[in-house]
Structure 1
Amino acid sequence: MSEPATTTRPSLMEIEEQLTGGETPLLLRRRVVTGLVVLFLLVVIAYWATSEYFGISYTIEAEPFRDWVDGFGILGPIVFVAVMALSVLFAPVPNAPIFMAAGLAWGPVLGTLYCMAGLVLGSAVAFWVARRFGRRHLPRLIGRRNAERIDTLVLEMGGRVVFWSRMIPAVNFDWISFVAGMTAIPFRVFIVYSALGMLFPTAVAVVAGDGLGRDARITLAAGGVWLGVIVASAAVYWRRRANGRRRNGGAP
């Protein structure tokens, strides 16, 4: 008598591999991570050497930019939130420069608030578009069995999948919004855990922008935090892939 088949829940990394054809995300590749670490160390050394021995200041005069933004009144934040939301819908638009501009214009608190408002709005619209028009196409894109496994995972693990996806800088925020809309995750769970997961990396980037107008060391420290999260995420990713290969009888 045959034993009943057991269903193995895929991990977050396995879901990403299924949806990206098994290709490692750019910011999780060993060469890229190594290059980022080396580049960051070189930037820190260059900053220390030039500021210590040549007295060069890297602080940007932010007041003219802030005065220009303030000149728009209430329209300024409204337009910014709209641009932030549109950047989510049009995935090729990078978010980091927008975060830093918000920090430079409004400081860490208001800058983070406006960025989060735009991100949550854009994520909600992206989720709705995918749920309305793309949900029925998910089995065709990744196969019926994989679609069922992902639905099972998001229903059992709930917002944890979304939260940790948002926390990893190597995973695109916009990509997650569209993919989540094609799964069975409830909207309220998606939007709450999305906001919680986006808050930390967004705040770090906004603080980096604010540091440009105050002290470049703040920007360097924020960049170090961002890089540290990438390195930690990559280490977990590499370990899980190595363990998976060993379980499958492949080379580690």
Structure 2
Amino acid sequence: MSTADALVKQPPRPAVRADRPAVDAPRCDPLRIAARFSPLLGLVVSIGLVWWGWQAGVLRSLENLLAFIDGLGAWGPIAFLMVSIASVIFPVIPGGLLVVAGPVLFGPLEGTLYNYLAVCSGSFVNFAIGRQVGLGLIERMFSPRAVEKALGWTRSPHFTRVFATAIALPVAPDDLLCYLTGTTRMRWRTYLLIILTCKPWSLIAYGLGVSALLVKFVPW
């Protein structure tokens, strides 16, 4: 028997039509697209609100803005809390802007309290989402580079200490880190204790500090 006869002949492969998409072609992910464009949407909405506030006279002076907030009554703090909580869960509007706005709109004590309630509530929701849904959803919401960098922190043997330090500092990626912490073995009571005791320091340093500088040096 010749070598050619010993070879097993393979059946001819069917031709692939040019107008037929490949089976393994990556599909568009609506959540990833929405997460990528959400900051742009938040910027457009913010610009629109600023334009409206200027045209209506609300933003022409700090006195006008405070009078507008007082005119809303109880709805002013409620709306601020809802928007602030949403900004922690869905990073559409930069949360740092709202943290600064709290003491300006409601005073140092009351504004910081509203910031504390909103940020802590949103952080609890982020942890619950990470624990129930897992890493797959988080990777679709945030950039792969940011997720991989934050995951490096979660792999540290001293992650509890690292997480507490990051929450106390006003420069850490809190929202993403809270999501990813839900995928670790950290207990709920440990997480709650860290958020409740460490978060005020970053809010005081960033919210009160920046808002005080704005009120003092910005001619408004």
The match for 1:168 is 169
Residue in structure 2 matched with residue 67 of structure 1 by the alignment: 67
- The letter for the 2-side match of 1:123 is S
Aligned partners of 1:91 and 1:175 also within 8 Å: no
Number of the residue aligned with 2:214 = 212
- Distance in 2 (CA, whole Å) between partners of 1:152 and 1:137 is 22
User: Residues 69 and 76 of structure 2 are in contact (CA less than 8 Å); yes or no, is this contact kept in structure 1?
Assistant: yes
**Alignment partners' CA distance in 2, 1:137 and 1:71:** 41
What secondary structure, in the 3-state scheme, does the structure 1 residue paired with 2:157 have?
A: helix
- 1:153 pairs with 2:153: no
**Length, aligned pairs only:** 148
The answer to whether structure 1 residue 118 and structure 2 residue 118 are counterparts is yes
What letter corresponds to residue 79 of structure 2 in structure 1? V
Residues 154, 181 of structure 2: 8 Å contact kept? no
* CA shift in 2, pair 1:62/1:136, >3 Å: closer
Q: CA offset at residue 136 of structure 1?
A: 8.5
Q: CA deviation at 1:152?
A: 7.8
Larger RCO (alpha carbons 8 Å, 6+ apart): 1
Aligned to 1:79: 79
- The residue number in structure 1 matching 2:57 is none
Shift of 1:75: 1.6
- Cα 1:152–1:171 change in 2 (3 A) is closer
Write out aligned runs for 1:92-111 (5 A): 93-111=93-111
Long gaps (5+) in structure 2: 1-59, 139-143, 145-150
Report if aligned partners of 2:169, 2:201 keep a CA contact under 8 Å in 1: no
Q: For 2:131, give the aligned amino acid.
A: R
Q: How far 1:187 sits from its partner (Å)?
A: 1.4
In structure 1, C-alpha distance between the alignment counterparts of 2:96 and 2:156, rounded to whole Å: 33
SS of 2:186's partner is coil
How big is the shift at 1:180?
0.7
How far residue 195 of structure 1 moved from its aligned partner, in angstroms, is 2.9
> How far apart, in 2, do the equivalents of 1:65 and 1:187 lie?
40
Q: Give CA deviations for 1:33-52 in whole Å, capped at 9, x if unaligned.
A: xxxxxxxxxxxxxxxxxxxx
TM-score (norm 2): 0.58
Normalization by structure 1: what TM-score?
Answer: 0.51
**1:10-21 matched pairs, under 5 angstroms:** none
Q: Which runs of 5+ in 1 are unaligned?
A: 1-59, 142-146, 218-252
The within-5 A match list for 1:131-142 is 131-134=131-134
Moved over 6 A (4+): none
Higher gyration radius (CA):
2
AA matched with 2:120? V
Q: SS at 1:153's partner residue?
A: coil
Report percent identity of matched pairs.
23
